[in-house]
Amino acid sequence: GIAAAEGAARMLCELKQQFDILPGSAAPDRAKLLLLCDDVQLFGRTLELVESHLKAGGHVISSAWSGLDAGRRKFALPEYWRLAYKGESPHAPAFFSVKADYAGGMPDMPIALYDRGTEVEALPGAEVAAGIVAPYYNRGWDGEHHFCYIPPDKPTSAPMLAIAPLVAHFTHPVFLSYNKHAQVPLRRLLGTVLERFLPRPLLRTGGLPSFARVTVTKQENPGRRMVHILSYVPERRGAKMDMIEEAIVLRDVKIGLRLDGFAPARAYLAPDRTPIEFEAGRDGYATAVVPEMPGYSLLVFEE
């Protein structure tokens, strides 16, 4: 739904990833990775497109009920997901813990999953990167007693994140949850999976806070790649209004642009064409440092 797509978009923006939002019937012609957010069942045209994408060596990240067939009975492409669907999660709330290989930047403690998800079983070929931890008891109401906090109890054998060669699957609606609760560990765990599936992203950045936004556009004749960098923080004022007033000045912002055959001869800040030194490395990236960014900068690489 829209809320899950909004959560995914916010996660990807904070991770400085470039992306398109496609309807289910649109062919992902150039995409190396597809995100199926929380409730995308695979049947008809959508099933054909996802299967074709995987056969071509593309990757998929799915969550919750995404990847299931039209009746939500089983995974539509089990040979790629390598999971068995067991039904709704029996835990409310569930917690999860992350294996050491995937725990970069994660707190060393069970992390709550506030929204109910699914339960799956990992089949041969799927690595359990994060596992479900059961709560001490399920949230409920006995007509007399109210409670706000339920502690984690014991780890279970159920995965929270399972990774097959081409597909990574979260068992809970992590994108909806991020839209509702903004849990930073969920974004960091997604970032770890993206690093595994997309080791060479279009952009590599340094010195940018999570609230900064970076977008790449291009022009032809002459060939240009434009990197738009924004640094503003919306503030909630009143009951519903998010206001942006002052810019946030950033310094020494590092931008690495994957070239893909593009051969820049110069780099500058538009519109005043202030020259910026850059280095085109053997790794296929052009790297530049913007010394000061007063809220918005447009870094141009030009042939």
89 exposure class (CB count in 10 Å sphere: 0-12, 13-18, 19+): buried
Where are the domains positioned within the chain? 2-197, 203-302
Q: How confident is the model at residue 141 (pLDDT cuts 50, 70, 90)?
A: confident
Pairing of strands 249-258, 285-294: antiparallel
Q: How confident is the model at residue 28 (pLDDT cuts 50, 70, 90)?
A: confident
**Which residues, in sequence order, are bridge partners of residue 170?**
63, 161
- The CATH number of domain 203-302 is 3.30.479.10: no
59: phi then psi, degrees, rounded to nearest 5:
-110, 160
Q: Which amino acid is at 266?
A: R
What are the tens digits of pLDDT across the range 155-164? Answer: 999 999 999 9
What are the tens digits of pLDDT across the range 96-132? Answer: 999 999 998 898 999 999 999 999 999 999 999 999 9
What are the tens digits of pLDDT across the range 163-207? Answer: 999 999 999 999 999 999 999 999 999 999 999 999 999 999 999
Chain centre to alpha carbon of residue 169: 12
Say if residue 146's pLDDT is above 80.
no
Q: How confident is the model at residue 78 (pLDDT cuts 50, 70, 90)?
A: very high
* Residues contacting residue 144 through CB under 8 Å, at least 6 positions apart: none
What local confidence, expressed as pLDDT, does residue 142 receive? 73
What local confidence, expressed as pLDDT, does residue 232 receive? 94
The overall pTM is greater than 0.85: yes
Q: Which DSSP helix (H) or strand (E) runs through 11? A: helix 2-14
Q: What is the sign, positive or negative, of the torsion defined by CA atoms of 166, 171, 175, 176? A: positive
What local confidence, expressed as pLDDT, does residue 59 receive? 98
What local confidence, expressed as pLDDT, does residue 297 receive? 97
3-class DSSP state for residue 131?
Answer: strand
What local confidence, expressed as pLDDT, does residue 137 receive? 84
Q: Which of 233, 203, 206 is nearest to 217 (CA)?
A: 203
Say if residue 150's pLDDT is above 90.
no
CB atoms within 10 A of CB 240: 6
The C-alpha atoms of residue 102 and residue 192 are separated, in whole angstroms, by: 6
CATH architecture of structural domain 2-197: 3-Layer(aba) Sandwich (3.40)
In the block, residue with structure tokens 């910026």: 276
Say if residue 208's pLDDT is above 90.
yes
The C-alpha atoms of residue 250 and residue 271 are separated, in whole angstroms, by: 19
Say if residue 266's pLDDT is above 80.
yes
Q: What is the mean pLDDT of the chain?
A: 95
**Contact of 298 with 226, CB cutoff 8 Å:** yes
Q: How confident is the model at residue 280 (pLDDT cuts 50, 70, 90)?
A: very high
